[in-house]
Chain A
């Protein structure tokens, strides 16, 4: 997952040892390609799992093949292993997993079945036939933050988040950076629910934020509850995972949406063609390559702001980094010096927030 680091390592390795390039040999698929997907939650959860399943349907069209899926596979080795082995026994040789908690089991299975190609969304393990994939979600959340800042009248924004660690912390800071871009005084109040899928707690958190006078609610959890509350309370919201206009058409002004098929159709074609080389530290993909993109913007976002958001999106595709220096955390400590950007390694272990963010202790 740490590409620049990896490039340095690989360059060093190549220079030092002529034997090492063997490691980087492309993966060769044996037999007819058959893809299968193992989904963490229920296919129709309205969020993360449904986004994966919708990408699966698009991949079926893009690759011209049936892609069966099993949903509701919990993050336990005892649940994951039999499903994957059943697929392999039926001749499936490209397996896509969809949960961080599959990482160890996928690593173990990829070693047991070296002729099968494994992918894992939000995984942490990699290997000669295993690639973890995640999107640079801070890009789309930054753009939605811009929409939130532009649409807010009070400048007080709220955010319902799952758990405090790298992938969630970076969306929060990016959201606030985006909001300040369109509204320099915007502040962001964050509530962590401690769970990815707990609509009851998400509802309570969203309502508490609304009570505090927040007028736009962002989120990084797995269900649409936050946007539904925003609509009920007559305020605005920005979604994650999928286009939340489905659940809250009036309130939703921007959604950060997964575009997995955009990544997987060409990637699987590479596997089939025999040119696939899994990134040794995982694929950490941008808007351009099919991580998350935005569905934007609702009518509450002024036209000029909407244009600014699209211009910023184009700049990101052209190479702009959201976490570019100089960047201080909320305690005033310099985290990214001027002229530099936050490294991928630092992103994954991000445990700080930019100014303007308030969180639980």
Chain B
């Protein structure tokens, strides 16, 4: 009988390395203030890098403070520009956050916005329903059309396991070409023969709030934010969505309706995207144009990511993105900084903030080396 080797019940602690080094460990739980601190650090680093780039471009430090802080906050025109920009951004941010919460990667937000706008415009062009109810009807059909556009990818994912990243992304192109087909064909503006829809009538436009150019799009975004917050953070659906986010198989094993939760979240996401399309056409452009949706899909993904799929966070992030955008424009106007440089600076700031997430999810420690005299 061979001699049994001594097997230690617990493996001995690993020997400390010869020299000191950095180790990275996964952080199980980060407190709220820790998250906030890390985010602020990322933002500060991004701003510092951006400032360095701008100083190298020959913009003075005091000018920068003036443009970014004083003029954006103190000038009503700039502030309203930020808020007007923020309203649709917040809604697409919500659309992305709701879907991402249940790990449904909806890359088709722009396509769903287009479908929403097409439905709303159809109601506007054909004067469906009584004028006082027209806007509500437009919003409703926009939401339904957005939902319809995401339904197929959602069902394909559930039934056939088809990757929704691909299906939602590709449907964007279908929607865009459909939009062009309408705008260069049946819906071409009869007044100018140019490729956009005819202008909406007064009853088909979101009313102004009476301050600068702000419209009801902003309160609408606020209302949707609160609703989504309630849904994701308070309601039973929110709890189920957390299970779906953490481990849908476990949820399924516990008899929770994971599939239905995913489908509902995907539809909600599509509906919100449809409403975003409606809010731009009825609240900003007052018609359906060829490019009203352009860039919003990726902005929505970005906002949801930065806000960690938290609806309230998405609203705040949308406003910050608006500030970044308007301040970037004033840099171009007043200092002749090229547009490409402004985009570079914006990207640097966003990447710093996004990358700071690493320090929320991980702990980086310095492990000191073995002392040589032992």
Contact = CB atoms under 8 A, between A and B. Distances in A.
Given A75-B291, A104-B286, A194-B177, A86 B333 contact: yes
Interface stretch (B139-147, B186-194, B257-265): B186-194
A62 interface: no
Nearest to A49: B339
Given A77-B284, A101-B291, A70 B193 contact: no
Nearest to B191: A124
A28 interface: no
Contacts of B51: none
A86 B329 contact: yes
A103 to B, nearest CB: 8
Interface in B162-208: 177, 180, 184, 188, 192-196, 199
A204 B184 CA distance: 22
Contact of A104 (B85, B213, B287): B287
A349 B193 contact: yes
Interface stretch (A16-24, A145-153, A162-170, A283-291): A162-170
A76 B292 contact: yes
B294 interface: yes
B289 A101 contact: yes
A42 B339 CA distance: 7
B121 to A, nearest CB: 15
B343 to A, nearest CB: 7
Interface SS of chain A: mixed
A74 B294 CA distance: 9
Given A78-B284, A104-B285, A165-B184, A124 B85 contact: no
A348 B188 CA distance: 13
Nearest to B334: A90
Interface in B67-82: 75, 77-78, 81
Among B193, B213, B292: residue with most chain A CB under 10 A: B193
A43 interface: yes
Contacts of A101: 196, 289-291
Contacts of A81: 81, 84, 213
Contacts of B81: 78, 81-82, 85
B194 A72 contact: no
Interface string B335-359: 0101110110000000000000000
B209 to A, nearest CB: 16
Nearest to B343: A72
A70 B340 contact: no
Interface residues of B, number: 41
Given A78-B284, A87-B333, A72 B77 contact: no
Interface in B277-301: 280, 284-287, 289-292, 294-295
B123 interface: no
Contacts of A72: 339-340, 342-343
Given A70-B339, A81-B81, A100 B329 contact: no
Nearest to B86: A78
B275 interface: no
| A contact residues, range | 35 or more
Q: Which of B194, B280, B334, B340 has the most CB of A within 10 A?
A: B194
Nearest to A41: B339
Nearest to B195: A165
A199 interface: no
B156 to A, nearest CB: 26
Contact of B195 (A77, A78, A85, A163): A163
A325 interface: no
B330 interface: yes
A72 B84 CA distance: 19
B194 to A, nearest CB: 6
A166 B286 CA distance: 23
Contacts of B290: 75, 101
Interface in A319-361: 348-349
Contacts of B287: 104
Contacts of B77: 82, 85-86, 89
Contacts of B291: 74-76, 101
A261 to B, nearest CB: 19
A60 B339 CA distance: 20
A42 B344 CA distance: 14
A83 B332 CA distance: 9
B12 to A, nearest CB: 60
B110 to A, nearest CB: 13
A101 B286 CA distance: 12
B84 A78 contact: yes
Most buried by B among A69, A72, A163: A72
Nearest to A36: B333
B233 to A, nearest CB: 29
A77 B284 CA distance: 6
A78 B292 CA distance: 10
Nearest to B327: A82
A312 interface: no
B97 interface: no
B113 interface: no
Interface in A58-72: 68-72
B302 interface: no
B120 interface: no
18 contacts: A36-B333, A42-B338, A72-B340, A73-B339, A75-B289, A76-B289, A76-B294, A78-B81, A81-B84, A82-B78, A86-B329, A101-B290, A103-B194, A124-B192, A163-B195, A165-B195, A166-B194, A194-B180
Given A75-B291, A76-B284, 14 more contacts: A43-B338, A70-B329, A70-B332, A78-B84, A82-B81, A85-B77, A87-B333, A101-B289, A103-B192, A103-B194, A124-B192, A124-B194, A165-B195, A166-B193
Which 8 A-B pairs give the minimum distances between C-beta atoms?
A72-B339, A349-B193, A82-B81, A70-B332, A124-B192, A86-B333, A71-B339, A77-B284
